[in-house]
A = this chain, B = another copy of it.
Amino acid sequence: MTPRGTDASAGADPVSGRTREALRAAHLYYMQDLTMEAIAQELRTSRSSVSRLLSHARASGLVEISIHSPLDLPSRIEQDVLARFGIAAHVVPVPDHATDVDRLDRVALSAARILGRFVDSNQTIGVAWGSTMSAMSRHLVPKATHNTEIVQLNGAGNGRTTGILYASELLRRFGDAFGARVQQFPVPAFFDDPATRRAFWRERSTRRLLELQAGMDVAIFGIGSPFAEVPSHVYQGGYLDRTDYDALSRDGVVGDVATVFYRADGSTDGIAMNERATGPDFAVLRRAPRRVCVVSGRAKIASLAGALAAGLITDLIVDEGTARALLES
């Protein structure tokens, strides 16, 4: 009775039979513990295809894997960070001997996978750029949203390379992952002349973007550490010259968020470079109710502490060693 009723109407279904098969494979694999071999038989395909189907199911968010600490033993470190700084921390375990490159990759990967918790429909999401954000962007797990908007926090152009392309690719990845519109910010990272910036800021197109930033629900950013041994993207990319460095040094700068510089106490007043920078004023940034910061590496501890002092962060994703060192500082 009802022979091969399964795909009676399969031909009539134009949309993504792919997704449908991926879902079925996921059920069979994750809910029923069949082997891929067995699933291949049920789906009349090869084992390798099932493997790929399952990869697709994971990468596209059909399958979600989450980890719950039993509530009685939340990570000690996360508790301590909450107690001391009043923010939610997500500590990523990384062995102490890992290189900074390793650290960054692993934190970015973890961050990408939990980002879905922060993103939802009808939101405006501010996104910065840099090596951390770039690594994250390559591992985002898609999540369907409606009417969500990704807005670039700061310009990415410079005299030499077309940072624009780099940033737009990064933004595009975020947009794709969440089915969101993307608002680029096509300006250089730093203007040469503060006056040019002020002029630009009066342009209607710029003001529209600044208004979007002012209404952000979530901001996502890394942290720049100008004087660390492993310089952040901004400091390698030819965005700053010798003179700029000296100025930052004189002003007592310890880090930047979206190319806006700050001191160890979190203050920004009188830092000349900020007159030429394109990132949002911290007062604007702090209007976003959720401000997610992704950091890795001990080199960034001073910068991170400054950002905390400035009250820029509500949710911190950080590697274990850095979190521990932060608590000891």
- A-side interface residues toward B, CB under 8 Å? 1-6, 15-16, 19-20, 23-24, 26-28, 30-33, 42, 57, 61-71, 73, 92-93, 95-96, 106, 109-110, 113-114, 144, 321, 324-325, 328
Contact = CB atoms under 8 A, between A and B. Distances in A.
Given A20-B73, A66-B66, A93 B61 contact: no
B32 A110 contact: yes
A251 to B, nearest CB: 28
A144 B70 contact: yes
Given A31-B92, A92-B31, A26 B67 contact: yes
A28 B70 CA distance: 17
A24 B96 contact: no
A59 to B, nearest CB: 11
Nearest to A110: B31
Nearest to A23: B69
Task: List the 3 closest pairs (A to B, CB-CB), nearest first.
Answer: A31-B110, A30-B65, A42-B95
B28 A93 contact: yes
Nearest to A139: B33
Given A32-B92, A109-B32, A67 B27 contact: yes
Contact of A71 (B2, B24, B144): B144
A23 B68 CA distance: 8
A324 B5 contact: yes
Contacts of A3: 96
A96 B63 contact: no
Contacts of A325: 1-2
A70 B24 CA distance: 13
A110 B73 CA distance: 29
A103 to B, nearest CB: 11
Given A2-B324, A31-B67, A31-B113, 8 more contacts: A19-B70, A24-B93, A27-B92, A27-B93, A31-B92, A32-B109, A62-B67, A62-B68
A33 B109 contact: yes
Contacts of A69: 23, 62
Contacts of A19: 70, 73
A5 B96 CA distance: 8
Contacts of A23: 67, 69
A64 B114 CA distance: 14
A64 B93 CA distance: 19
Interface centre among A1, A69, A70 (most CB of B within 10 A): A70
B64 A15 contact: no
A66 B67 contact: no
A96 B69 CA distance: 39
